[in-house]
Chain A
Amino acid sequence: MFEFFKGFGVTFSTMFKKVVTEEYPEDFPPAAPRYHGRHQLNRHPDGLEKCVGCELCAWACPADAIYVEGGDNTEEQRFSPGERYGAIYQINYLRCIGCGLCIEACPTRSLTMTNFYEMADDNRQDLIYTKEQLLAPLLPGMEQPPHPMRLGRDEQDYYVQGPTLAARAAAGEPGTENDPVGEQVR
């Protein structure tokens, strides 16, 4: 007959514990830092895109969720440092399984995953995210492409020491466009 009190005891003790229920959507708790959420196409510190349209992410994708078409940068229309940029970039979130193989495949660290997870919708069309939706927002100091390379003469400068050059450019140091150190690192 003590079983009866034992059962109520559990209930009673739980009343004083912290609840695990989350008040979603009123409360919006962040996912774990390394959660595989929505993708993001990153930018160089001056706003140029890191994506070179190489399609390695599409190649790696086991669900065939990514579609990429490369494009040719010209001096007038430059979207990324170097010769090539991603002209069309689409991720189909109806297909994406969040495995993250695309992230591993990306040679320029252009594609990463955020921990944003609210990606439900009531139609299929809107779940195909295009490049405009996936590109990282412009931070202060960034400029909307197309624009010329601001941090160096070629893509090597960006890859080898982009953040350093950006910091120096921000500090207004002269000679950022053409420094001998960068040459040596290369």
Chain B
Amino acid sequence: MTIAPEEKKAPVAEGYVRLTIDGIEIDAPKGEILIRTCERLGIIVPRFCDHPLLEPAGACRQCLVEVEMGGRPMPKPQASCTMTVADGMVVKTQHTSAVADKAQQGVMELLLINHPLDCPICDKGGECPLQNQAMSSGRTDSRFVETKRTFPKPLPISSQVLLDRERCVLCQRCTRFSEEIAGDPFIDLLERGANQQIGTAADKPFQSYFSGNTIQICPVGALTSAAYRFRSRPFDLVSTPSVCEHCSSGCAQRTDSRRGSVMRKLAGNDPEVNEEWTCDKGRFAFRYLQSKGRITRPMIREANGELVETSWTEALRVAADGLLAARGHHGIGVLTGGRLTVEDAYSYAKFARIAARTNDIDFRARPQSAEELEFLAAHAVGTTPDTGVTFTAVEAAPAVLTVALDPEDEAGIVFLRLRKAVRKHGQRVFQLGQWTTEGTRKTEATLVRAVPGAEAAVLNELTAASGSPDSGELVGALSGPGSVILVGDRAAEVPGLYSAVTALATRTGAAVAWIPRRAGDRGALDAGAVPTLLPGGRPVSDAAVRAEVAKAWGVDQLPATPGRSTDEILGAVARGELSGLVVGGVDPDDLTDPALARTALREVGFLVSLEMHHSGVTELADVVLPVAPDAQRAGSYLNWEGRLREFGPSLDASGVLPDCRVLDTLAVEMDADLFTQTPAAAMGDLQRLGAHAHATPAGPTVPAGATPCPAEYGQAVLATWRQLIDDGSLSVDEPALAGTARPARIRVNPATADRLGLTEGAEASVATDRGAITLPVELNDLPDGVVWLPANSPGSAVRATLGAGHGSLVRVSAGAGAGLGAGHGGAA
């Protein structure tokens, strides 16, 4: 007789424990919660409150399982979402234990006692964990015959989020998200016992940039979206993975559409980038796709000055004729904005070099500087997640300094990572700014206060030895391995700031990452939509590099003169030194001087506009060529990490063309071949060009500019940036979203308010020679003599109204002041 040899059990690895679940032996890392171990085995225990990114709560009790420890069964079933694994544990889920199954059915019956029969009218119906789990682990009937508890419904807790307390099962996912992840604890449990409910404080509105996530993680229909209310059912929707087009974080998303229009967007799950979250702007701002301002047909300007619709062939012929004439006269400039995908930006870059035969192309549709280009060439071009700073690196960093960047307003997902790191491992966050914003508070950041314009000087003075204790601490913290400096693109408004960042990084050894505001900026930089750089960061000034690119593009030579920046191009147009412009995705009101920009656009000999919506550019253009929005095209963005974020079309894409296709055809009319007919072709062409191996240039060394100083009574230095939810051109037609914007306020410190006679809550006005902005005053901890305005919020379009920007001198007075022509001051 043969005896089968006894199987030798592998020893349990260090840091692991061995337990048995439903008769299956498994090793789990110490500290893992039971429900997660079950998941890895493919055993799904029903649950409501458990969420992998939130801390365990054990609130709903739906995940009860039978647990045996050391041979002794626990007296009652245990919640598997709060119990950690232990060696020798024997777990029986509902699949093998009648006790666990009965316990789960009992909990479900209890949860359903006060749950209304709303399924037919509830937005969650069809994708509702409560519905599904009531089927899988609930009783077929209820023994409850008494009156159900009722509440008035729905209760709008903001203009975007509606609360139905009858449906709530008190799992606390929303309150835990608000408290742990977003840091806006305006929603919380109220009352006790049977009256326990979710609610908001009467005097504090639920105001959060991330409120949409609570809707997505609500396991019942208690939190619903006002914009998506009663719009469709899950089985109507066609879901496609997509990428957010609103900022440079590049969140993964899911776009749900019905009958050719987008119904909603949900956060996708990308642990490397946005985890499972996305900001409200990315989630809710998509109605621009159907807005009345969409351009669907090509248009040309007739002799009488009117724009009339025409055919593509006619429009392209007129555009090509006009551009050829302009090229033969003084030349053409190309201006692009932040909405471009990598493929589009590459097409514009190639179009400028081959068809327009110039290096006069710039993607920076905002204040810009030559120093910035040097900085970008040194720190941003060509970085990838493998070589540069990533979200993960930001989270792991012991210390982070943000410069010219308010993470919550300008890069929401970066803010969430910072907050997570602060909570998880006590990361030190320093913020070079003007006042303690909500985001500063929520990341427990140390504010390094600077008068607008003096940021560079403040950074230069930071040394380990010098000055205030804060300064020594900052430099010390940044010297730690893995520390990061995050720079926003507003730094271009302060002369010397990029240089100061470079110097500080050299002094401390911290890594530097550039976080532009808009989705396309990083891609445009790498694709060569820059006056001094060809694709891949190849310097225009290098003849060998030019020859290499010319050979790859199949042309004899590329223009050798380094190009001009956006401001210089517009200046040249105004002086009559350029006779044609190709403009894509630029809003004149974003530019350094909107008035000058409009003059230039009006005066230019021939203006071609590639645009989705009617804008300040299309109303002056000679030819308007409609282009496809992201939802109707394929493409990719480079997010600030340099990570390629590819997306496909979500809606039917027939009849609309992406920028790269339009430019390709336009170039053919001008007798040049771009080979960018489709995004795939453009990307292939760009990738064939390959990366540019070169020594990283040293960063810029521009001395810090003079600190602006109010010269007379009533003057102040203007600080300004954009709030996340504002009058951005892609946020149109979203009343529910606009309702959650932070109110626009003039902010000064109490001493300045006293001196200028301003009172909190009362109106005051900020004025230059161009105009005035009148808003209520709010007191904050700004430096003395500094006034802050949101850059593009309702009633506060700073550049358009004042012609001023960050660091300009403005006049501040109480009441609704007269701006025009009263006194002097003006834009500095």
Cross-chain contact A54 with B231 (CB below 8 angstroms): no
Residue of B nearest to A105 (CB): B120
Given A55-B236, A83-B154 in contact, is the A69-B231 Cβ separation under 8 Å?
yes
Whether B693 sits at the interface, judged by CB under 8 Å, is no
B233 — which chain A residues lie within 8 A by C-beta?
Answer: 55, 58-59
B120 touches A52 (CB 8 A): yes
- Nearest CB to that of A80 among chain B residues? B121
In the complex, the answer to whether B232 meets A69 with C-beta atoms within 8 Å is: yes
- With CB as the reference atom, state the residue of chain B lying closest to A82: B121
Contact: A59 with B231, CB < 8 Å?
Answer: no
B230 close to A (CB within 8 Å): yes
Q: Is the CB of A71 within 8 A of B230?
A: yes
Known: A52-B120, A56-B120. A84 touches B230 (CB 8 A): yes
The answer to whether A62 has its CB under 8 Å from any CB of chain B is no
Which of B120, B153, B229 is A54 in contact with, Cβ under 8 Å?
Answer: B120
Supposing A52-B121, A82-B121 touch, asked if A72 and B230 sit within 8 A by C-beta, the answer is yes
* Complex Cα spacing A70 to B263, Å: 13
Assess whether B649 is interfacial by the CB under 8 Å rule. Answer: no
List of A residues within 8 angstroms of B236 by Cβ: 55, 58
Main secondary structure of the interface of B (DSSP, over half): loop
A82 to B118, CA, bound (A): 10
User: Is A108 positioned at the interface, with any CB of B under 8 Å from its CB?
Assistant: yes
Residue in A58, A69, A84, A186 whose beta carbon sits within 8 Å of that of B121 in the complex: A84
Which residues of B are found within 8 Å of A59, using beta-carbon distances?
A: 126, 233, 235
Is A47 close to B, CB under 8 A?
no
In the complex, which residue of chain B has the Cβ closest to the Cβ of A54? B120
User: Which one of A52, A53, A55 has the highest number of Cβ atoms from chain B below 10 Å of its Cβ?
Assistant: A55
A107 at the interface (CB under 8 A from B): yes
Residue B147, interface by CB 8 Å: yes
A70→B120 CA distance, assembly (Å)? 11
Q: Which residue of A lies closest to B226 (CB)?
A: A72
Q: Is A108 a contact partner of B120 (Cβ separation < 8 A)?
A: yes
Q: How far is the CA of A37 from the CA of B119 in the complex (A)?
A: 28
Known A83-B154, A186-B147: A54·B121 in contact at CB below 8 Å: yes
Bound Cα distance A83, B229 (Å)? 10
- Per-residue CB contact flags for chain A residues 71-107 toward chain B (1 = under 8 Å, else 0) read 1100000000011100100000000000000000001
Chain B neighbourhood of A72, CB < 8 A: 229-230
Q: How far is the CA of A70 from the CA of B121 in the complex (A)?
A: 9
What is the CB-to-nearest-CB distance from B238 to chain A, in angstroms, rounded to a whole number?
A: 14
Residue of B nearest to A55 (CB): B233
Tell me if B125 counts as interface (CB < 8 A to partner A): yes
The interface on chain B, measured as residues whose beta carbon lies within 8 A of the other chain's beta carbons, has a size of 15
Q: How far is the CA of A107 from the CA of B125 in the complex (A)?
A: 13
Query: B154 — which chain A residues lie within 8 A by C-beta?
Result: 83
Q: How far is the CA of A149 from the CA of B79 in the complex (A)?
A: 46
* Contact code string B205-248 (vs A, CB < 8 Å = 1, else 0): 00000000000000000000000011111011000000000000
A71 to B232, CA, bound (A): 10
CB-nearest residue of chain B to A159: B117
Q: Which residues of chain A are near B147, meaning CB under 8 Å?
A: 186
- Determine the chain B residues whose CB is within 8 A of the CB of A55 once the complex forms: 232-233, 236
Contact assessment for B230 and A53 in the assembled complex, using a CB-CB cutoff below 8 Å? yes
User: Are B229 and A107 touching (Cβ within 8 A)?
Assistant: no
Give Cα A37 to B231, complex, Å: 29
B146-191 contacts to A, CB under 8 A, are 147, 153-154
Residue of A nearest to B229 (CB): A72
Nearest neighbor of B233 in chain A, beta-carbon distance:
A55
| Closest A residue to B236 using CB positions | A55
Interface positions of B from 231 to 269, Cβ below 8 Å from A: 231-233, 235-236
Chain A residues 95 to 124 lying within 8 A of chain B, measured CB to CB, are: 107-108
B residues less than 8 Å from A108 (CB atoms): 120
- How far apart are B105's CB and chain A's nearest CB, in angstroms? 24
A17–B609 CA distance with the chains assembled, in angstroms = 85
A69–B154 Cα gap in the complex (Å)? 20
Bound state CA distance, A138 and B417, in angstroms?
Answer: 59
Q: Using an 8 Å CB-CB cutoff, how does the interface string of B354-391 with A read, 1 for contact, 0 for none?
A: 00000000000000000000000000000000000000
Residue from A54, A56, A72 with most neighbouring chain B CB atoms (10 Å): A54
B164 and chain A: residue at smallest CB distance: A83
Cα–Cα, bound, A70→B231 (Å)? 6
Q: Tell me the complex Cα distance, A64–B230, Å.
A: 20
Chain A residue nearest to B235 (CB atoms) is A59
Minimum CB–CB distance for B22 against chain A, Å: 34
User: What mask results when residues 122 to 139 of chain B are scored 1 for a CB within 8 Å of chain A, else 0?
Assistant: 000110000000000000
Q: For residue A98, give the distance in angstroms from its CB to the closest CB of chain B.
A: 22
In the complex, A52→B121 CA distance in Å?
A: 7
C-alpha gap A37/B715 in the complex (Å): 79
Bound form: Cα–Cα A36–B147 in Å: 38
**Docked complex Cα distance between A86 and B147 (Å):** 28
The A37-70 residues at the B interface (CB cut-off 8 A) are 52-56, 58-59, 69-70
- Shortest CB–CB separation between residue A44 and chain B, in angstroms? 16
Per-position 1/0 for B88-130, Cβ under 8 A of A: 0000000000000000000000000000000111000110000
Q: How far is the CA of A37 from the CA of B233 in the complex (A)?
A: 27
A78, chain B: closest CB distance, angstroms: 14
Question: Which A residues are in CB contact (< 8 Å) with B229?
Answer: 72
Residues of B within 8 A of A84 (CB): 121, 230
Smallest distance from the beta carbon of B118 to chain A beta carbons, Å? Answer: 9
**Closest chain B residue to A108, Cβ basis:** B120
With contact pairs A55-B236, A186-B147 given, residues A83 and B121 touching in the complex (Cβ less than 8 Å): yes
Contact with B along A135-168 (1 / 0, CB 8 A): 0000000000000000000000000000000000
- Measured between alpha carbons, how far is A156 from B120 in the docked complex, in Å? 14
Contacts of B230 in A (CB 8 A): 53, 70-72, 83-84, 87
Q: Give the residue name and chain of the B residue nearest to A56 (CB).
A: B120
Minimum CB distance partner of B147 in chain A: A186
Residues in B neighbouring A107, C-beta threshold 8 A: 119-120
Residues of chain B lying within 8 A (CB to CB) of residue A87: 230
* In the complex, chain B residues whose CB is within 8 Å of the CB of A58: 233, 236
Q: How far is the CB of A159 from chain B (nearest CB, A)?
A: 10
Residues of chain A with a CB closer than 8 A to B120's CB: 52, 54, 56, 107-108
B262: min CB distance to chain A, Å: 15
Q: Closest approach, in angstroms, between the C-beta of A180 and any C-beta of chain B? A: 13
Beta-carbon nearest neighbor of B154 in chain A:
A83
Contacts of A52 in B (CB 8 A): 120-121
Residues in A whose Cβ lies below 8 Å from that of B231: 69-70
Could you jot down 6 A-B contacts, CB within 8 Å? Answer: A53-B230, A55-B233, A55-B236, A72-B230, A87-B230, A186-B147
Which B residues are closer than 8 A to A by beta carbons? 119-121, 125-126, 147, 153-154, 229-233, 235-236
**Besides A54-B121, A55-B233, A72-B230, 17 new A-B residue pairs in contact (Cβ under 8 A), listed by A number:** A53-B121, A53-B230, A54-B119, A55-B232, A58-B233, A59-B126, A59-B233, A59-B235, A69-B231, A70-B121, A70-B231, A70-B232, A72-B229, A82-B121, A83-B153, A83-B154, A186-B147
Residues of A within 8 A of B (CB): 52-56, 58-59, 69-72, 82-84, 87, 107-108, 186
Going nearest first, the 3 A-B pairs with the smallest beta carbon separation are: A70-B230, A54-B120, A84-B121
